[in-house]
Structure 1
Amino acid sequence: MNIVYLTTEAVPFAKTGGLADVCGTLPSRVAAAGNRAAVIMPAFRSIRRSGIPIESTDISFAVPMSREKLVGCRLLKSTLPDGDTPVWFIDQPQYFDRDALYGTSHGDYADNDERFSFFCRAAIMAMARIGWSVDIVHCNDWQTGLIPSILKSDPNLPESLRKAATVLTIHNLAYQGSFPRESFHWTGLNWSHFNANECEFYNQLNFLKTGIASSDVITTVSPRYAEEIRTQEHGCGLEGVLESVSDRLVGITNGIDMDIWDPATDPNLPVNYDVTNWQSGKTQNKRVLQKSFGLDASDEVPMIGLVGRLASQKGWDSIVPLIRTHLSEQRPTQWIVLGSGDARYESELRELAKAHPNQFALHIGFSDKLAHQIEASSDLFLMPSHYEPCGLNQLYSLRYGSVPVVTPTGGLANTVVDCNETTIADGTATGFYLSSNDPAGLDEAVGRALRMRYHDPQRWARLVATGMQQDWSWTKSANEYIELYGRTLALKVTPKRTPPG
């Protein structure tokens, strides 16, 4: 099969979240299984900072954005770093040569409706020019949501493109690309498509809803999240739309790069280790981290790690009170936090770090090296998210022997097995669930974990070893996608039978 991935993010070229990890890895894994894969994305300013060579091409064209506005662009080309999978960039500086991908600290760019309408239309024109016969067009998130509708409705497209099967992956339903009705004219679609069954949602243009309504298959990044987004609690207003397409909605859990995230070979770690010697390996890594941040030197005191965005969605409304309680009551724990986000949480964490420098370490910002070191040094890793489409840090934590404490939602519920008498007995337990998503529920779950670590070291060792031996590789996820592509393509090319009568 020939599969083209359409996205706005792919590591190492552009990243704001997990979308980039998926689109920077999945295409290569699918290609390695005997398929042909390519990526098409905008030529954001960040691609030139990736350190990977970018080639010019002689392919250029113009997109008629309106009767009065014709916007030209050219294609640039590179490859994903872990293989020869080509990446094609839509180079249009007016839209994409900016400091950030989607907006600034003051909000989204005011012309995102125009920018990503252009990207959708230019990506389709690019597919018609790169010399491929495309079987599957795999769209990702709202920024590509117009593409399935355009492919189905534009009679001027090559027949090979109109016959391609479309897959849309929802990485986070909270981001939908909703714009005023007037934005519809940028799409190039006939106004007849601005209706409740296609592009219109409460008299606005909704990119994501358009993709959901017109794609052959919709996927999301974990089976549990595929169920949750059909409920009022997690549906972000689109639960009814998603329920109507439930027969073609599938959840596939994201994977991780098991070569990059491998404590036995990780070059970011002072000391490497594996499942046979994790106790000594994690202890030695902890010592180095304690020294570098000025924490009390202790092998026995458990270290609790957190990495990620500082936002209420991630459970910081529960985490900060718990950290404050542990520090004020001088409970025998150490904490290390890496992340950035809401100014409120950054300020509160800075105050805690200043007041308790021997027990609490803080790095505002991001450091890939430090993220690896925290996973290797921590005994526990907290992810009490209010919702989590998939999550990756819990998978890194399992790999590195840092026991995850999580809310049983979305991908967290699909990847972490709660520790109880049954799962301990059958050897499947890998972490701890919150009984309630609030500070008390988080405190109870952390307390259960710490009691086992202190008072039942044999069970704790079994728990860690079970997690470290889990297979959450991209190979596993890629095989599920390949199977899905095959089923989708078969349904697409099978002639529809005339209903009896």
Structure 2
Amino acid sequence: MHIVFMTPETWPYARVGGLAEFSHDLPLALARMGHTVDVITLRCREGLELCKDLSRLDFELEIPVSWRTQQAVFYHHKPHERVNVYLIANDHYYERDGLYGNAFGDYEDNAERFIFFSRAALELLIALEKSPDIIHCNDWTTALVPLYLKTLYKEVEIFKNAASLLTIHNVQSQGVFWHYDMPLTGLDWEYFNQDVLEFHGKINFLKAGIFFADFISTVSHRYAREILTPQVARGLEGVILERFSRLSAIINGVDNDTWNPAVDPHIKAQYTADDLKGKKECKKELIREFKLSGEGDHPLMAFVGRLLDRRGLAILLPGLEKIIDMGADLVIMGFGEDHYHTSLAHFQSKQNGRLGLYVGYDMALAHKVMAGADMLIMPSKSEPCGLHQLHAMRYGTAPIVRAVGGLDDTIRDHSSTNPGVGFKFEDYTTNDMLRAVQRALDTYAETNEWQALVGRAMTRSYTWEQAAPRYVELYERARRLGESRQEA
């Protein structure tokens, strides 16, 4: 098949969250299966250095945005013989500090920025005369594309047989904007109704995508159930329930070439489940990297991720002192809300080398953290799938997670009578989290029991070789639906 993959962030061109890895790993896995994949993404500020080495296409396009047009410039990269990456550039929209927003919040013109992206992606395919079998969209930023395929681009020949899949990575980010942005879409006001775009008097991009996509997927089985509830779906539960027969759940995978402690070039010493000596060296190196005071004698716990309420910072921050009192050292890597940056820096200054902090995200350092830590804590308020817990298990780092979304699906809770691969807790409270931390530390003190847990975690398999064929099945179903629609 010819698959077009539309996403605002793709590693290594831009990364805000796990979508960047998803958008890198899945296309490569599909290519290894023999499919041809065109990834269409954005050129933004953090990718400018890389873009100097990319080839610029020899044409530009004027993209309609309301009554005017905006210029799109395109770059190309070919990371695999069956994968083309096209980057859409427009300095006015994307030459900014952040992809979606900055320290003051989301950009006020995000509706316009991602309408432009969606239409530029479709216009690029027309200019290249590429006729896809499937267009795989991701989250609200590309959720207008399934609607466009059935409206503005309905008569375009190259899209006549194109089917669409929308993957929901985070239903709580919906792309909701005031109704005065409606003309920017290029759509008639007839689509501003409760069945398409209208949402409590505003427009909702994700709602339109759910309604018009041929198929919908999300990234874990529990999350597929959670998005049917108002607490998680925030008003879209009815639309999702209406399209439930077209909804599938596919757990994310891990790229074995990238996340593999046996061959990882980023870590101090390689190791395997059968020989863990290298992990001890990685722990010592991580302690030096974060300037901790210990010599590896304490259990070392890590947090990697965005510093946001939904990632669990609201319950983690009040528990940090207690975790240290329990005997663990901590390393934290991430970025997010400024008040968490400030609070963590202040807390670190009082801990005499017991807590290391890196505000930001560095891929090489993330590998070192996974290899050097004994435990990874993910106290998420919500977590559609999660990738860090999958990476942690590959590196023999036991996850401590809240039992939500993909964390519940992928982590089997451990006890002395029921061996597992990590530690789970249910309630979104500091106390319940600390009880799980204490269970992990108690198990760590039992050397044989801990080594057995580490071995089970490292051999637990979540790979793209397992997940990609599931997406192909969805693509095939969507393509058959498109063909039958044309025959009718």
Q: What range is the shorter-chain TM-score in? A: over 0.9
**CA separation of 1:148 and 1:51: change in aligned 2, threshold 3 A:** closer
Q: Equivalent of 1:461, from 448, 451, 459? A: 451
1:193-204 alignment runs, 5 A limit: 193-204=191-202
Label 1:128 to 1:470 Cα distance change in 2 as closer, same or farther (>3 A).
same
1:14: how far off? Answer: 1.4
Instruction: Report the Cα distance in structure 2 between the residues aligned to 1:128 and 1:210, rounded to whole angstroms.
Output: 23
- 1:30: how far off? 0.6
> Which sits farther off after the overlay, 363-372 or 50-59?
50-59
Query: 1 CA distance for matches of 2:58 and 2:290?
Result: 52
For 2:467, the aligned partner's letter is S
Give 1:142's match in structure 2, choosing from 140, 153, 156.
140
Of 440, 444, 449 in structure 2, the residue corresponding to residue 449 of structure 1 is 440
Please, which of 100, 117, 120 is the counterpart of residue 118 of structure 2?
120
**Structure 1 residues 101 and 340, CA gap change in structure 2 (3 angstroms):** closer
Partner Cα distance (2:486, 2:81) in 1: 39
- Residues 34-49 of structure 1: pairs in structure 2 closer than 5 A: 34-49=34-49
Q: How does 1:61-100 map to 2 (within 5 A)?
A: 61-67=61-67, 69-80=68-79, 84-100=82-98
- What does 1:382-401 correspond to in 2, within 5 Å? 382-401=377-396
CA–CA separation in structure 2 for the residues paired with 1:28 and 1:379: 30
Tell me if structure 2 keeps the 8 A contact 1:403–1:430. Answer: yes
Distance in 1 between the 2:151 and 2:78 partners?
Answer: 31
Report if the CA contact (8 A) 1:48-1:54 is conserved: no
Q: Secondary structure at the match of 2:269?
A: coil
1:50 equivalent in alignment to 2:50: yes
Distance in 2 (alpha carbons) for counterparts of 1:493 and 1:185 = 32
Give the deviation of 1:149 after TM superposition: 0.7
Alignment-derived partner of residue 27 in structure 1: 27
Residues 4 and 134 of structure 1 are in contact (CA less than 8 Å); yes or no, is this contact kept in structure 2?
A: yes
8 A Cα contact 2:323 2:437, kept in partner: no
| Partner Cα distance (1:300, 1:346) in 2 | 28
Q: Distance in 1 between matches of 2:156 and 2:426?
A: 54
Map of 2:247 onto structure 1: 249
Aligned residue-pair number: 488
Q: Hey, what does 2:292 align to over in structure 1?
A: 295
Q: CA deviation at 1:148?
A: 0.7
Q: Report the CA distance between 1:106 and its aligned residue.
A: 1.7
Secondary structure of 1:282's counterpart equals helix
> 2:457 is aligned with what amino acid?
G
State the alpha-carbon separation in 2 of the partners of residues 395 and 490 from structure 1.
33
**Does structure 1 residue 366 correspond to structure 2 residue 365?**
no
For the aligned residue pairs, the C-alpha RMSD in angstroms reads 2.1
Please state how far the C-alpha of 1:492 moved relative to its aligned partner. Answer: 2.5
Aligned to 2:472: 482
Q: TM-score, normalised by structure 2?
A: 0.95
Q: Percent identity?
A: 35
Aligned partner of residue 310 in structure 1, secondary structure: coil
Amino acid at match of 2:263: T
Does the CA contact (< 8 Å) of 1:435 and 1:445 recur in 2? Answer: no
Which amino acid is the alignment partner of residue 346 of structure 2? Answer: E
Determine if contact 2:154/2:160 at 8 Å carries over to the other structure: no
Unmatched 5+ stretches in structure 2: none
**Structure 1 residues 396-405 or 181-190, which shifts more?**
181-190
Residue in structure 2 matched with residue 277 of structure 1 by the alignment: 275
Q: Which whole-Å CA distance do the structure 2 matches of 1:376 and 1:96 have between them?
A: 34
User: Whole-Å Cα distance in 2 between the matches of residues 86 and 155 of structure 1?
Assistant: 23
Q: CA 1:24 to 1:335, structure 2 compared with 1: closer, same or farther past 3 Å?
A: same
- Please say if residues 307 and 335 of structure 2, whose CA atoms lie closer than 8 Å, have aligned partners that are also in contact: yes
C-alpha distance in 2 between matches for 1:176 and 1:450: 39
Which residue in 2 is equivalent to 1:16? 16
Residues 358 and 41 from structure 1, CA distance in 2 versus in 1: closer, same or farther, beyond 3 angstroms?
A: closer
- Name structure 1 gaps, 5 residues minimum: none
Tell me the SS of whatever aligns to 1:250: strand
1:337 to 1:486, Cα distance in 2 relative to 1, 3 A:
same
Which of the numbers 306, 309, 318 marks the counterpart of 1:309? Answer: 306
TM-score scaled by length of structure 1: 0.92
1:28–1:83 contact (8 Å) kept in structure 2: no
Give the CA deviation at 1:248: 0.8
Give, as a single letter, the amino acid of the residue that structure 2 aligns with 1:491. Answer: L
Q: Aligned partners of 1:42, 1:466: CA distance in 2, in Å?
A: 39
Q: Is the Cα contact below 8 Å between 2:111 and 2:181 reproduced in 1?
A: yes
Q: 1:373, CA displacement in angstroms?
A: 1.5
Give the partner amino acid of 1:405: I
How has the CA–CA distance of structure 1 residues 120 and 291 changed in structure 2, closer, same or farther, with 3 Å as cutoff? closer
Aligned equivalents of 1:162, 1:99: Cα separation in 2: 38
CA apart distance, 1:254: 1.4
Select 1:339's aligned residue among 329, 334, 338. 334
Q: 1:292 to 1:41 in 2, by over 3 A?
A: closer
Residue 257 of structure 1 deviates from its aligned partner by 1.7
Distance 1:57 1:363 in 2: 38
Give the corresponding residue for 1:434: 425
Tell me the CA shift for residue 156 of structure 1. Answer: 6.2
- Please give the alpha-carbon distance, in whole angstroms, between the structure 1 residues aligned to 2:16 and 2:426: 31
Q: In the superposition, relative to structure 1, how do residues 128 and 436 fare at CA in structure 2: closer, same or farther (>3 Å)? A: same
Distance in 1, matches of 2:364 and 2:352, equals 22
Residues 407 and 434, structure 1, Cα contact 8 Å, conserved in 2: yes
SS at match of 2:348: helix
Q: Distance in 2 between matches of 1:491 and 1:193?
A: 23
* Deviation of 1:334 (Å): 1.3
The residue matched to 1:234 in structure 2 has which SS? helix
Counterpart residue type for residue 101 of structure 1: L
Return 385-394 or 333-342, whichever deviates more. 333-342
Distance (Å, rounded) in 2 between the aligned partners of 1:262 and 1:33: 21
Superposed CA deviations along residues 200-228 of structure 1, whole A, max 9, x for unmatched, are 11121111111111000111121211110
Query: Secondary structure in 1 aligned to 2:47?
Result: helix
Q: Mean alpha-carbon deviation: is it higher for 157-166 or for 21-30?
A: 157-166
The structure-2 alpha-carbon separation of the partners of 1:168 and 1:422, relative to structure 1 and needing over 3 Å to count, comes to: farther
The range that moved more, 17-26 or 55-64, is 55-64
Contact 2:74 2:86 in 1 (8 A): yes
**Matching residue's letter, 2:321:** R
Deviations 1:288-323 (A, max 9, x none): 222344434344421111111122211122222222
Separation (CA, whole Å) in 1 of partners of 2:422 and 2:83: 36
How far residue 482 of structure 1 moved from its aligned partner, in angstroms, is 0.9
* 1:369 counterpart letter in structure 2: A
